[in-house]
Structure 1
Amino acid sequence: MSAPPVSHKPKHGIKRKKNLAKLKTRQKAKTMEKIEKKNDAVTFEVVFVGRSNVGKSTLLKSLTGRNVRTGKRPGVTLKPTHLYFDDFLITDMPGFGFMSGVTPEKSEDVKNTIVRYIEEHADRIYLAVQVIDGPAFVEIVERWDARDEIPIDLELHDFLEEMGIITVIAANKMDRVKEDEKDELLGEIAEIFGYEEGPWKESGALIAPVAARAGDIRPLVSHLKNEFHKMKRDDLFKHFK
């Protein structure tokens, strides 16, 4: 019986794959080194948190003029996204809550990622912006109440307060609410977050009614600048439109 034919295929393909893998490893190491260097310079951080599809990325673009990387579909991105401005850092946390096509385990991973990140960097996180879907928020909370459960939004807000982080609630998509109904809705939102019943502007609640897609973000900018001023960081004003 004749011997099997000897393969004379070139081994260049295998070598090329190994070289490519080494190159990717070196590039990843360099990227991590750059990120660590940037992180070492950070002294002041603001985190943006909120459910998926509440408009965090659009709000950040309107606020800073920078695009924020997003996943191809909600719930895919589990890692925080950073925007660096010298010693100032804005971090866009992954969206949380129920998402179509995302397992409960992955949703829990997102929540844990947010909590761990805030705990690990609490010494430099001075402010948080919690973005909610203004028109839908009361209905979302009522659905959770019907199941006798505490909404993740409220859990997160309480957690931020426990960590000593000042939190501004950005009620987004308010352009979808009739003008004569806005104050009543914002009063309900303030009450849900634990502020006294009555006119929301007098409740002490740090609520900014905004419409990110329409570019109306002045109430949020005003709240942020006011808090920065209290912390003697007026130099941060220049980073916002």
Structure 2
Amino acid sequence: MTSEIVLVGRSNVGKSTLFRLLTGKRVRVGRRPGVTVGPARAVVGNVVYVDMPGYGYMKGAGKKVQEGTKDFIVRRFEEKTEEILLAIQVIDAASFVEIADRWEERGDIPLEVELFEFLTELDLAVVVAANKMDKVKDPDATLDEIAERLGMLPPWSQWKDKIAPISAKAGDIEPLKEIIRSRLPSRGGRSQS
């Protein structure tokens, strides 16, 4: 059975840049949302990394396309649950709280929170890659708010196995790599510690 590490998140949060750093495989990246339109794959060792298309608002894409992308992502996770070693939910740490506040003010559940709950309900190992930390003024306070919004009691530092502060554009992804290494199957079939 194939083991997959799947990157998923809202459009334009840096998934493809992170995918390239983790796999060495070049994929199209862009400044505008919606550049990744289908899953990209790369084999690294005995694991397949999958970069899913972004979900949510995509400038120039109609509601039907946006909903179709979301449905595709949901179906894929439901169908491949047994094969997924780790789901990496990439978020833009610099705008996460502000976006979540806007959704909650309208009485809606923020997309990132909904996705995190969905992945957790599937009983998947989920890590939140809090990307763009180089743009965050108060890292600990921001990470505490992110943890709280996702149902984890602050301080965030007690969740270092579930929250990885990174800056993919700057190449600073070691906290995430540590989590991935801890999840990778060893040659004997058990997770490495």
Taking structure 1 as the reference length, what is the TM-score of the superposition?
0.73
- Among all aligned residue pairs of Structure 1 and Structure 2, give the percentage whose two residues are the same amino acid: 47
User: Conserved in 2, the CA contact under 8 Å of 1:195 and 1:205?
Assistant: no
Distance 2:161 2:63 in 1: 32
Distance 1:134 1:141 in 2: 11
After superposition, the C-alpha distances for 1:55-79 in whole angstroms (9 at most, x for unaligned) are: 1111111222221245895325442
Equivalent in the alignment of 1:185: 142
SS at match of 2:82: coil
Aligned CA distance change for structure 1 residues 83 and 69 (closer, same or farther; 3 Å): farther
Taking only aligned residues, the RMSD between alpha carbons, in angstroms, comes to: 2.2
SS at match of 1:74: coil
Considering only CA atoms, is the larger Rg found in Structure 1 or Structure 2?
Answer: 1
Query: Alpha-carbon deviation of 1:158?
Result: 1.0
Distance 2:190 2:73 in 1: 27
Query: Alpha-carbon deviation of 1:145?
Result: 0.6
Higher relative helix content:
1
Query: Alpha-carbon deviation of 1:224?
Result: 1.2
User: Conserved in 2, the CA contact under 8 Å of 1:141 and 1:151?
Assistant: yes
Instruction: Give, as a single letter, the amino acid of the residue that structure 2 aligns with 1:168.
Output: V
Equivalent in the alignment of 1:154: 113
Query: Alpha-carbon deviation of 1:97?
Result: 0.8
After superposition, the C-alpha distances for 1:16-68 in whole angstroms (9 at most, x for unaligned) are: xxxxxxxxxxxxxxxxxxxxxxxxxx521111001111011111112222212
**Unaligned segments of structure 2, at least 5 residues:** none
Query: Alpha-carbon deviation of 1:126?
Result: 1.8
- Counting only pairs closer than 5 Å after superposition, residues 1-241 of structure 1 correspond to structure 2 as 42-70=1-29, 74-75=33-34, 77-85=36-44, 87-178=46-137, 181-196=138-153, 198-203=154-159, 206-228=162-184, 232-234=190-192
User: Conserved in 1, the CA contact under 8 Å of 2:40 and 2:51?
Assistant: yes
